[in-house]
Structure 1
Amino acid sequence: MTYRYIKVTREGRLTIVTIDRPEAHNALNAAAHDELAAAFDAFAADPEQWVAIITGAGEKAFCAGHDLKQQASGGGMSTPATGFAGLTARFDMAKPVIAAVNGVAMGGGFEIALACDLIVAARSASFALPEPRVGLAALAGGLQRLPRVVGLKNAMGMMLTGRRVGAEEGQRLGFVNEVVDGDMLAAARRWATEILACSPMAVRATKEAVLRGLDTPAERFLREQWEYPATAAMMTSQDAVEGPAAFAEKRTPAWTGR
């Protein structure tokens, strides 16, 4: 597929998706949403791609959210079935996704980052759900995900005022994993490399079980987790044999993702 508003590159097992509208602070119009949905469809379906990074072009913005100019001109606010940026409602994504946040992550941009599994942020990055300031609400998952990560009162303090939070405060609150001086994308690649050193089958089973467990009572979770798709796939995989064998033989495992 030819993309106009995003760039997709592959580095071995790693897919890097870059929102490429720096002149609009990487705000998403309808076509950009569709392109991102297609890119993450391709990533999810490709057995050779195990981890993804999403970032924004330029230094000023990760993503400024929905393109309000498009909305003001009558373009609407439609998003793909898989959510804002084709990611925020992709609840069956067992592969890990890292947000590499440069500059502002506003509204839907912050919701993209919250939908990812890890957030690496440049020290200059800032985050906000400012929708109430323009007569809207953060309806792409931010209202649910942020309180889970930072607690209700901290989340309300951000969501009801629309205030901006810097990268360091984001790390103190718990939604930023690492604050970076210098090459933020290199730091995200380092996290990806550490994930890629693990069995992709085990990584997916872990992510799926953790996210399902958030809403499941422990007694039921411990009984049902063996039936989760990624867990069942892990238990019958070649990787489940390779891992213990490599440990016993004191060598680096050769993961196949099968």
Structure 2
Amino acid sequence: MPAMDFITVERHGGVTTVTLNRPQAMNSITPDMHHELQAAFDDFATDDGQRVCVVTGAGEKAFCAGSDLKAMAAGQVRPYPKNGYAGLIERFDLAKPVIAAVNGLALGGGFELALACDLIIAAETASFGLPEPLVGTVALGGGLHRLQRQIGLKQAMGLALSSRRISAADGLRLGLVNEVAAPGELAAATERWCEDILKGAPLAVAASKQTIMRSLDEPDLATALQNQATYPYFAAQAASEDRAEGAQAFAEKRPPAWKGR
């Protein structure tokens, strides 16, 4: 992966951490930054040794304040990369889990980036909002589509039309946030989620994510149940060595040794 100017990428065990690294600008995303994020997520997606990705922001004030409007006003324009805003919001084929560790403001595109992740762990000081109408634009990064699916129509309408911010506690109440971390505990809380995910067989975790997401496209529950065996990762885990290993390890009362196949 090439050198990055606006993000950092770290790998520890099976966890990749992508950090938006423009704290002086609230980690707002420039046109070039979209492509750095695309490259980072591409690398994570194709690395079989990496099983969970954590996305966070540098500093304590902001996860991401969205697009860098100053860069846009200065004429810095570049098409989005293949997988859309931040290289993630249209990455529909990624079966590995992605966690947003939201350490502060998540506004506009920053909120949309968090919504595109599978889990959101938020510091108590975090807040979320789609303030695009206040600057004469619309949330085009999937937020208007994901938000209604994740918290329901009326709550999504309320946030989208009013440009109001909600706290981490409100996000938890609405079902948007998985856990709210006490001051200084965000990294530890995120690490616990990663550790729990890593305990599972890689193909089973991928199959679980893919089945949930594919089910959203099915017309009803009966059809979803009928079709799940055709989902690629569902079929792969059913015939995997790890499935046999899981049963054997349980019978022998020992930890399983996953191979990811």
Q: Which residue of 2 is the match for residue 230 of structure 1?
A: 233
Deviations 1:22-65 (A, max 9, x none): 11100011111101100000000001001110000000100111
Matched residues in 2 for 1:113 and 1:238: separation? 34
Question: Who is 1:115 aligned against?
Answer: 116
User: Partner of 2:99: helix, strand, or coil?
Assistant: strand
SS of equivalent to 1:9: strand
Once the two structures are superposed, what CA deviation does each residue of 1:81-130 show, in whole Å capped at 9, x if it has no partner?
A: 21211111100010000000011000010011111111000000010011
Q: State the shift of 1:183 in Å.
A: 2.4
Tell whether 2:200 aligns with 1:198: yes
Q: Which moved more, 1:233-242 or 1:33-42?
A: 233-242
Q: Which residue of 2 aligns with 1:80?
A: 81
The aligned amino acid for 1:100 is: A
* Gap regions ≥5 residues in structure 1: none
Show structure 1 runs of 4+ deviating over 3 A: none
Give the letter for the 1:184 counterpart. Answer: L
- Cα deviation for residue 77 of structure 1 reads 6.3
The CA distance in 2 between the partners of 1:51 and 1:233, in whole Å, is 19
Match of 1:151 in 2: 152
Q: Please point out which of 246, 250, 253 is paired with 1:247.
A: 250
Stretches of structure 2 that go unaligned for 5 or more consecutive residues are: none
For 2:3, the equivalent position in structure 1 comes to 2
66-75 or 47-56, larger mean C-alpha shift: 66-75
The structure 1 residue matched to 2:217, chosen from 211, 215, 218, is 215
**Is the partner of 1:160 in helix, strand or coil?**
helix
The C-alpha deviation readout for 1:206-244, integer Å capped at 9, x for no partner, is 000001101202222222211111112212221111111
CA deviations over 1:158-209 (Å, ceiling 9, x no partner): 0001110010011001101111112212211110100001111101000000
- Using structure 2 for the length normalisation, give the TM-score: 0.96
State the 1:150 CA deviation: 1.2
Per the alignment, in what secondary structure is the counterpart of residue 36 of structure 1?
helix
Report the Cα distance in structure 1 between the residues aligned to 2:99 and 2:130, rounded to whole angstroms. Answer: 20
2:32 touches 2:78 (CA, 8 Å); kept in 1?
A: no
Kept in 2: contact 1:71–1:77 (CA 8 A): no
Contact 1:205/1:230 (8 A) holds in 2: yes
| Structure 2 CA distance for aligned equivalents of residues 83 and 130 of structure 1 | 20
- Contact between 1:88 and 1:115, CA under 8 Å: does it hold in 2? yes
Identity of aligned residues (%): 55
- Please, what is the CA RMSD of the aligned residues? 1.0
Partner-residue secondary structure (3-state), 2:162: coil
Residue 17 (structure 1) shift:
0.6
Structure 1 residues 46-57: aligned runs within 5 Å: 46-57=47-58
Instruction: Give matches, 1:134-173, under 5 Å.
Output: 134-173=135-174
**Residues of 1 paired with 2:147 and 2:4: CA distance?**
31
Mapped contact 2:148–2:155 kept (Cα < 8 A): yes
What does residue 91 of structure 1 align with? Answer: 92
